[in-house]
Amino acid sequence: MGELYTGGPVAALRRIAFLMERGREETRRVEAFRKAAAVILPLDPDDVAARARAGTLTELAGIGPSTGTVIAEAVRGEVPERLAKLERQHAGPLAPGGREVRAALRGDCHSHSDWSDGGSPLEEMAMTAMELGHDYLVLTDHSPRLRVANGLSVERLARQLEVVEAVNDHLGEAFSLLAGIEVDILDDGALDQTDEMLARLDVRVASVHSKLRMDSGPMTRRMLAAVANPFTNVLGHCTGRRVEGNRGTRPQSEFDARAVFEACVEHDVAVEINSRPERRDPPTRLLELARDTGCLFSIDSDAHAPGQLDMLDYGCERAEAAGIDPDRIVNTWERERLLAWANPAGR
């Protein structure tokens, strides 16, 4: 007799989707399992069990043969075969090193939901962050100029803040979904959101997403202006490079890294260690330069799906290899210390 499974079909479907995202499997295939979980979540468990016994689960819109099989196995108290296989393939640390740094992290300062170019509702992102043991997750959907990523206008961001508040009211004190933004750094170094809206947020990541091949001089001035902006807390994926992945590769932007990192120290801005394996940004040479310059750091997942929140493992391994003191990593800090740093009095 096989191992008894007590998690239920929704938990099985969510766990399968999480592990597939963690293993960087095709998004379309992952979405089938998340959609199936959403379909059966509001249904009476007895009705789901009856359909499983009758073989009629696939009559429900959004349930296909693969997801129906998982549901039926879970209803019978069996560990779904698909789940067992994925646990063997994708569970466990994603990187062999960085375990001490990973244990010190309390949260993640860069994540996306389906309000911009992420694949899941912000509630699902928050729930998964809780399950991973985070104390907080900063939601940083894109700003309006980045239309290809469905960036948030002032009006949409204001509505999102209301949803974030409602989620926190529901979750209680054990976990906080913090209101943030990945704000685009415009050509002149200005930030792509109003000061009024930026002031309402908890944490702000500023990133370059356009004209990445700008000449070094103008790019340096652009980044220096953004770092000097009093609302900037984290400089996101500073070179914009891509080293692998199905979107192809891209060379790093050229700029005076020493000047930019010295400005980060002057203005108390953290340099992001972007944990996405297709980015590995900043490159090792610049990571070590930022370390030696005295910068703070933020190890972020830049997650666009719940399973990607665990990609922090990759950034932690790089931080540990570079010998970065965990206290220089802002998301090892308790929530109140993080918020006090991100929102200094008198700004």
Does 20 lie in the same domain as 127?
A: no
CATH number for 26:
1.10.150.110
CATH number for 177:
3.20.20.140
Does 105 lie in the same domain as 83?
A: no
Q: Could you tell me if residue 320 is inside a domain?
A: yes
pLDDT at 6: 85
Q: Which of 46, 63, 90 is the last residue of a domain?
A: 90
Q: Could you tell me if residue 31 is inside a domain?
A: yes
Does 57 lie in the same domain as 103?
A: no
Q: Could you tell me if residue 161 is inside a domain?
A: yes
pLDDT at 3: 73
What total number of domains does the chain contain?
A: 2
pLDDT at 1: 44
Task: Give dist(CA 140, CA 146) in Å, integer.
Answer: 13
Does 119 lie in the same domain as 73?
A: no
Q: Could you tell me if residue 2 is inside a domain?
A: no
pLDDT at 346: 67
Does 174 lie in the same domain as 47?
A: no
The whole domain housing 21 covers 9-90
> Torsion angle, CA of 78/79/83/87, rounded to 10 degrees?
-170
Does 152 lie in the same domain as 183?
A: yes
Tens of each residue's pLDDT in the chain, 347 residues? 457 888 899 999 999 999 999 998 888 889 999 999 999 999 999 999 999 999 999 999 999 999 999 999 999 999 999 999 999 999 989 999 999 999 999 999 999 999 999 999 999 999 999 999 999 999 999 999 999 899 999 999 999 999 999 999 999 888 999 999 999 999 999 999 999 999 999 999 999 999 999 999 999 999 999 999 999 999 999 999 999 988 889 999 999 999 999 999 999 999 999 999 999 999 999 999 999 999 999 999 999 999 999 999 999 999 999 999 999 999 999 999 999 999 998 66
Does 228 lie in the same domain as 269?
A: yes
Q: Could you tell me if residue 1 is inside a domain?
A: no
Contact 286, 238 (CB under 8 A): yes
